[in-house]
């Protein structure tokens, strides 16, 4: 099993940390993992994306030209990555952030209204965990247990009190994601 | 197995460098911020090793100062390292030449980005020449290690420590922005205590630290010599040492090369891309393999020369306009066709691009002369 | 009475410090370097710090300082002695670590390293020989060359519009929070030699006790570079250098 994922959105949406938690979950599943960010000066508000690979085998290139799954959290990201998802792959997008939804018919497309859900609950910080939950529903690459273990390792000790809140958000994300027929 | 899972940490290459240095018992770090390696100093600042192992950490005023701090540390027999990226390493060249001239230990981590000049902050491998051939003055060599994973970044700090004291030659860990910035799972080494003053005195009798001065001649580290004959003698001595290093320390590995008729040669991040390209080529029925130098100096000339005739063609993959390829052509001595593919300026070739370049190399090789001067 | 009868320990009034070795000095007659070297050797000996001293010399006339004083020496690259000393002192906090630099080394090519080492409050002693000229390369203009002073690269005299102004690096040093002791001395007379020795000793004590960075400027002669006899050079220094670089403590927070 190898899952090659691109997560892309605006800086500040928690794209990089979502990738990191996912990678840690992969370690807990005894897999090989890599996490490769596009880095640059735009740490707030600019574009941010990270490539996460989780695999049973040693990972060769951490840099990819095609992906199994793309999680796109703004319109430019969708435009950039929709064409490079492999046939039969998966696109997950946030309903509020994307104005022109994906149009490809040869991939599975999921919509998650994570931005709205985060706004509704008044906790914008769990936005990325809602999306992560959605991913785990659409692509069950790691168990919730291992994701929570991953959270424990990814978060500094002083933030461990936030783990239950994040776990709730992941579970909620699994509920609110829905497949879209193109 | 479950325990091992828990021992793994997810780290960036730059973070692994910092944490490995603390655990391998480095005495000091001296460096200046530059993208894409700033996490080295940032991680050290967060981990505060001066409170645990006693390691000194200092943000210098420039790369010039950093390398001269490293020079001072090496003179006194301490194990120190610095870390920078392409333009910063360029600034250090004078100091590196001084360290080589005085035969000092010291480790220089180079996390490459696209150049030349200020260049980009995106990853690059255009500093092969800078590391292997140097920009400092005079006849000297540095041992150059080329990790291609975060685990190897960590391990290289241990290997660099061993080699720099064994040979009294500065060691460069030549990495790039991808390996510096990417996260992978890592097993960090156990803690090795830093050497005591007495151990330094025993192991480094040449060090200028004053210890035991009353029972010995005083030590001096200077690269200045007004007598050309004496200077030449010093150079001869170093050249002999370099020959021994070339005989003993070459390191490399193969990927899928046992039955290969065609070869990719790549180091660092390009070797990761190269592995994937080999997978694609194999799926298409092409007998491709990869050769990866793990030491860029000493370069694996011998093995490349001895096996070159086995291959119908070689493609060097590197994220530059062509630096490693020159060393490969020298090693192969025209026995087979050698071509180059690389992106530069901060671009990284994808495995699919390498696949296409490889097919092109295969076609070209049929009608091409084999001389290494033919591009 | 024969000469041999007089050579007895009880008759000895002056001796070379034992840390000074027999190597003939390369310095020109009338140069201040030799005297300052002797003071350094005497002080290390008096402090009993032979095995705990790490000395760092510059590029310039004092590049060969390591030939004359029997302690462990590091020859730094041009201008970088303060950076080198910073790491050495931090890695060997119990040692006496001092730099020995000229005006070109410290106040020109190595200004950044000097200012930042001082400003970080590195626990090192810095000896700064200011003779307002590049001696080793043959008498070119230095950052501290006086206005109107003739050198090989300002043969008609230093002019502000062509060459800018002399750099008062010691005055700058006194304004930095990391310095604890900044003083300007000379070795042209016996009383001044005594004062200079006291100043260097204090700087060394400060390094050992971790009080911060000390800077001892020695306003010096360069008879060859100034194209004068040693005696003329001393007189010229008193008349021209001292008014511009007045002797005395600029800062002392230790006492």
Site from C91, C94, C110, C176 to mutate, B interface, most B CB atoms within 10 angstroms: C91
Per DSSP, what are the bridge partners of residue C151?
Answer: C154
Of C51, C74, C90, the CB nearest to B208: C74
Question: Hey, are the CB atoms on B73 and C66 less than 8 Å from each other?
Answer: no
Distances (CA, A) of B89 to B62, B242, C35, C78: 11, 22, 40, 18
Site from B185, B271, B289 to mutate, A interface, most A CB atoms within 10 angstroms: B185
Share the mean pLDDT of chain C: 96
d(CA B354, CA C103): 56
Whether ipTM exceeds 0.90 = yes
All CATH 3.40.50.970 domain ranges in chain B, comma separated: 2-186
B195 touches C at CB < 8 Å:
no
State the pLDDT at residue C17: 94
Chains that touch B (3 or more CB pairs under 8 A): A, C
Question: How much is the average pLDDT of C92-121?
Answer: 98
With beta carbons under 8 A apart, name residues in chain B contacting A15.
none
Question: How much is the average pLDDT of A15-23?
Answer: 94
Go through chain A and tell me how many residues it has: 182
State the pLDDT at residue B369: 64
Give the model confidence (pLDDT) of A45-96 as tens digits.
577 899 999 999 999 889 888 999 999 999 999 999 999 999 999 999 999 9
Burial (CB < 10 A; 0-12, 13-18, 19+), residue B21, is buried
Nearest residue to B252 (alpha-carbon basis) of B210, B199, B291: B291
Q: What percentage of chain B exceeds 90 in pLDDT?
A: 94
pLDDT score of B244 more than 70: yes
With beta carbons under 8 A apart, name residues in chain C contacting B227.
none
User: In chain A, where are the structural domains located?
Assistant: 2-180
Burial C1-11 (b: 16+ CB within 10 A, else e): eeeeeeeeeee
Site from A62, A147, A158 to mutate, B interface, most B CB atoms within 10 angstroms: A62
Question: Hey, are the CB atoms on B275 and A62 less than 8 Å from each other?
Answer: no
State the pLDDT at residue B370: 56
- CA C148 from chain center: how many Å? 24
Specify whether domain B252-367 bears CATH 3.40.50.920: yes
Element (H, E) at A65: none
Give the model confidence (pLDDT) of C196-237 as tens digits.
999 999 999 999 999 999 999 999 999 999 999 999 999 999
Give the model confidence (pLDDT) of C37-51 as tens digits.
999 999 999 999 999
Residue in A closest to B6 by C-alpha: A28
Element (H, E) at A83: none
B2-186 maps to which CATH number? Answer: 3.40.50.970
State the pLDDT at residue A41: 58
State the pLDDT at residue B296: 98
Give the model confidence (pLDDT) of C143-164 as tens digits.
999 999 999 999 999 999 999 9
Structural domains of chain C, with CATH: 27-252 (3.40.50.970)
Give the model confidence (pLDDT) of B88-128 as tens digits.
999 999 999 999 999 999 999 999 999 999 999 999 999 99
Question: Hey, are the CB atoms on C95 and B210 less than 8 Å from each other?
Answer: yes
Give the model confidence (pLDDT) of B47-88 as tens digits.
999 999 999 999 999 999 999 999 999 999 999 999 999 999
Strands A67-72 and A85-94: parallel
All CATH 3.40.50.920 domain ranges in chain B, comma separated: 252-367
Q: What is the DSSP letter of B113?
A: B
CATH level 3 topology of A2-180: Pyruvate-ferredoxin Oxidoreductase; domain 3 (3.40.920)
């Amino acid at each position: 099993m190898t899952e090659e994922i691109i997560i892309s959105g605006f800086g500040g949406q928690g794209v990089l940390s979502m990738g990191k938690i996912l990678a840690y979950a992969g370690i807990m599943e005894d897999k090989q993992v890599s996490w490769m960010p596009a880095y640059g000066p735009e740490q707030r508000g600019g574009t941010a994306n990270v490539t996460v690979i989780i695999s049973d085998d040693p990972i060769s290139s951490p840099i990819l030209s095609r992906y199994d799954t793309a999680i796109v959290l703004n319109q430019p990201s969708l435009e950039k990555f929709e064409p490079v998802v492999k046939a039969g792959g998966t696109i997950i997008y946030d309903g509020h952030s994307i104005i022109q939804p994906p149009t490809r018919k040869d991939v599975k497309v999921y919509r998650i209204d994570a931005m709205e859900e985060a706004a509704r609950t008044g906790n914008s910080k769990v936005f990325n965990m809602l999306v992560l939950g959605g991913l785990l529903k659409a692509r069950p690459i790691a168990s919730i247990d291992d994701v929570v273990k991953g959270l424990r390792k990814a978060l500094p000790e002083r933030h461990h009190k936030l783990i239950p809140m994040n776990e709730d958000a992941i579970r909620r994300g699994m509920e609110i994601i829905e497949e879209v027929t193109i | 197995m479950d325990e091992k899972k828990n021992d793994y940490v997810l780290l960036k290459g730059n973070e692994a460098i910092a944490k490995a240095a603390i655990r391998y018992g480095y005495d000091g770090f001296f460096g200046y911020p530059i993208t894409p390696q700033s996490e080295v100093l940032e991680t050290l600042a967060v981990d505060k090793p001066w409170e645990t192992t006693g390691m000194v950490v200092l943000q210098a005023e420039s790369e010039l100062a950093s390398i001269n701090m490293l020079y001072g540390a090496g003179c006194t027999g301490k194990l120190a390292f610095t870390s920078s990226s392409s333009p910063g390493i360029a600034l250090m060249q004078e100091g590196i030449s001084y360290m080589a001239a005085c035969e000092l230990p010291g480790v220089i981590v180079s996390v490459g980005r696209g150049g030349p000049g200020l260049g980009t902050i995106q990853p690059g491998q255009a500093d092969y020449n800078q590391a292997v051939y140097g920009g400092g003055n005079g006849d000297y060599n540095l041992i150059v290690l080329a990790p291609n994973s975060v685990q190897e970044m960590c391990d290289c700090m241990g290997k660099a420590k061993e080699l720099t004291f064994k040979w009294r030659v500065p060691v460069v860990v030549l990495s790039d922005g991808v390996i510096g910035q990417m996260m992978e799972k890592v097993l960090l080494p156990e803690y090795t205590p830093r050497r005591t003053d007495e151990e330094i005195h025993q192991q480094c009798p040449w060090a200028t630290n004053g210890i035991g001065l009353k029972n010995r001649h005083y030590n001096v580290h200077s690269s200045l010599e007004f007598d050309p004959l004496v200077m030449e003698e010093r150079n001869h001595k170093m050249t002999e040492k370099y020959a021994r290093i070339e005989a003993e320390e070459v390191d490399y590995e193969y990927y899928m090369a046992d039955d290969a008729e065609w070869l990719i040669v790549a180091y660092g991040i390009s070797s990761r891309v190269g592995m994937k390209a080999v997978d694609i080529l194999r799926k298409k029925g092409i007998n491709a393999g990869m050769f990866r130098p793990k030491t860029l100096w000493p370069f694996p000339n011998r093995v490349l020369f001895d096996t070159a005739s086995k291959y119908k063609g070689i493609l060097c993959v590197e994220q530059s306009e062509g630096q490693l390829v020159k060393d490969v052509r020298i090693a192969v001595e025209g026995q087979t066709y050698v071509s180059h593919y690389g992106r530069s300026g901060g671009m990284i070739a994808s495995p699919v691009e390498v696949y296409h370049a490889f097919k092109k190399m295969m076609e070209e090789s049929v009608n091409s002369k084999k001389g290494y001067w033919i591009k | 009475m024969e000469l041999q009868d007089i050579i007895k320990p009880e008759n000895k009034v002056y001796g070379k410090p034992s840390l000074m070795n027999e190597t003939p000095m390369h310095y020109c007659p009338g140069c201040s370097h030799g005297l300052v070297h002797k003071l350094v050797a005497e002080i290390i000996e008096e402090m009993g710090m032979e095995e705990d001293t790490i000395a760092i010399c510059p590029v310039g006339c004092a590049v060969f300082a390591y030939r004359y004083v029997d302690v462990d020496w590091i020859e730094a690259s041009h201008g970088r002695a303060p950076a080198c000393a910073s790491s050495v002192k931090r890695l060997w906090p119990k040692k006496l670590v001092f730099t020995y630099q000229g005006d070109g080394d410290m106040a020109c090519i190595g200004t950044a390293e000097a200012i930042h080492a001082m400003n970080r409050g590195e626990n090192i002693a810095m000896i700064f020989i200011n003779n307002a000229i590049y001696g080793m390369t043959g008498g070119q203009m230095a950052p501290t060359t006086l206005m109107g002073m003739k050198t090989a690269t300002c043969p008609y005299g230093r002019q502000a519009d062509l060459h800018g102004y002399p750099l008062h690096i010691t005055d700058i040093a006194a304004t930095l929070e990391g310095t604890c002791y900044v003083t300007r001395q000379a070795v042209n007379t016996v009383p001044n030699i005594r004062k200079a020795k006291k100043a260097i000793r204090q700087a060394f004590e400060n390094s050992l006790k971790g009080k911060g960075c000390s800077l001892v400027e020695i306003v010096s002669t360069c008879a060859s570079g100034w194209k004068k006899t040693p005696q003329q050079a001393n007189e010229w220094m008193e008349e021209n250098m001292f008014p511009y670089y007045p002797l005395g403590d600029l800062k002392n927070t230790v006492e």
